[in-house]
Amino acid sequence: MASLPLPSWGSLTYAHSPNPLRIPSASDPKRTLPSLLESIIPQPRLSPLLFNGHLQTAIPALFPSAPAIHYKRRIFTADSETFKGHFAVDFAVKPLITGKKEGEEKLLIEDPVGVGHTDLPERTSYFTNAEFEALEQRETDKPLLIVLHGLSGGSHEIYLRHAIAALVASNGKTDDEGFSGGDFDVLVANARGCAGSRITTGILYNARATWDVRQTVKWAREKWPKRKLFGMGFSLGANILANYLGEEGSSCPLTSAILVSNPWTLDISHTILLSTYIGKHIYSAAMGKSMRALFARHAAEITTNTVLDPAVIQATTYLHEFDREVQCPTWGYPTEGAYYRDASSADAVLAIRIPTLCLHAQDDPIACDQAVPYEEIKCTPWVVMCATSGGGHLGWVELGGERWHAKAVTAFFRIMAFEVDLEGMVAPDTKAEGWSRESGYRSPFQYGPLRRKLQLVENSELIPGI
């Protein structure tokens, strides 16, 4: 008896260059990146009960459910004199207690580096020094995925755990190679002060804070030169990762990347957010509350910057008010609007030079559709936008509780890691360096997608990250 087709709700649309990247495989040597994606990314079967972006955004937060991912943490010391401090990197590992009674296996909850907190997220402990040294010395060519979470989040987030679960699942394998035993190893670079980590200087993080992910990627490349490295960012982490990809350009050590629910043009997303009652009083207020809580946990360290006034910061309500009182004086922006315009990644997409998949829901109430740089994406062969008609912000809840974005993530990274011929990629000549049309007039100007208004004062040249 033929099986009935699964019901579906929601549609997919793709935006990409008319002259796309060719990325051959054994079965199709002339396949393009868009046609590859269309063949592997499943149609969404979003729950009809969650029929708009607000429900898709809110229900996963109100009723959280996700695969149990176990982590071991290592505290990294920043290698930059400009951006001193520490940040926490969580490595997905096999379950920390397997077949043992609670308490038989002692987990390390005190950071051996000496700067970490002990209020770790659930299912997380620290590497011992010996364990971490053994991990660094392991020779392996297993693919490694480096992940960035959303605003004030961390490795414990529901949307993140759904996305990596299939990649790290051992599926009954008994080998001991890698962190988790799955087809991929995965680590999460937590933003400073997030996921129970400690801020050790007055430096928080912002939407342009690419220095910690740059150090993490550089470290992974030095330790494991045979690995293929991949990147994935969610929401604000997607904006940061997009900026990093653009800054690295053709020198990027990553093989490919996924950007999920990126707010892209931050000033537009901000304006749209404040234009509705729900956007301002629910979403912006909730994000402002989470950032105030982050500040409260690290107030002593952050306020070593004496320009900041703790009383004023705690009196803020909305995210833009927090950014006005913290991000602006910390980094030197005159207004939060100037910060949003400068930190946006919409232009950085033009400088990306690795295959990059963007996942977006057109009804996203936070990373709104109006902020997506569709025209810029059409100017580059390296980036493809896959947009669903529904799904909300980091939602995409399907019938039965599965998450559509997790299926898309798994399909993309597996085919990029194991099937396509990355050495045979062919990028068409799109005049990407000049961005000028053929005409009788040669412009004396040159467009630089990565030029920023905020520059390091000791160097007038563009410095990656700020």
- From the candidates 117, 320, 393, 405, give the one annotated as an active-site residue: 393
**Vertex 286: Cα angle to 283 and 315 (nearest 5):** 125
Give yes or no: 17 in active site.
no
| Torsions phi, psi for 49 (to 5 deg) | -70, -25
Catalytic residue among 90, 183, 267, 364: 364
Query: Is position 235 annotated as part of the catalytic site?
Result: yes
Q: At what angle do helices 53-62 and 158-168 cross, to 10 degrees?
A: 80
Q: Are 22 and 32 in contact (CB under 8 A)?
A: yes
User: Are 152 and 237 in contact, with CB atoms under 8 Å apart?
Assistant: no
Distance (Å) of CA 231 to CA 61, 129, 287, 360: 25, 26, 25, 17
Q: Which of 235, 269, 284, 344 is catalytic?
A: 235
Contact partners, residue 186, CB within 8 Å, separation at least 6: 91, 92, 144, 145, 147, 164, 167, 168, 179, 180
**HSE-CB for 287 with a 13 A CA cutoff:** 20
- Identify the helix (H) or strand (E) that includes residue 212: helix 211-223
Q: Token digits for 318?
A: 């909305």
Rg (CA), the chain: 22
Give the C-alpha separation, 211 to 248, whole Å.
Answer: 12
Strand partners, 81: none
Is-catalytic flag, 364? yes
Residues 6+ apart with CB under 8 A from 222: none
Contact 53, 361 (CB under 8 A): yes
Count other C-beta atoms under 10 Å from residue 251's C-beta. 8
CA–CA separation, 204 vs 302, rounded Å?
A: 7
15 pairs with which residues across the strands?
A: 385
- Catalytic positions, please? 235, 364, 393
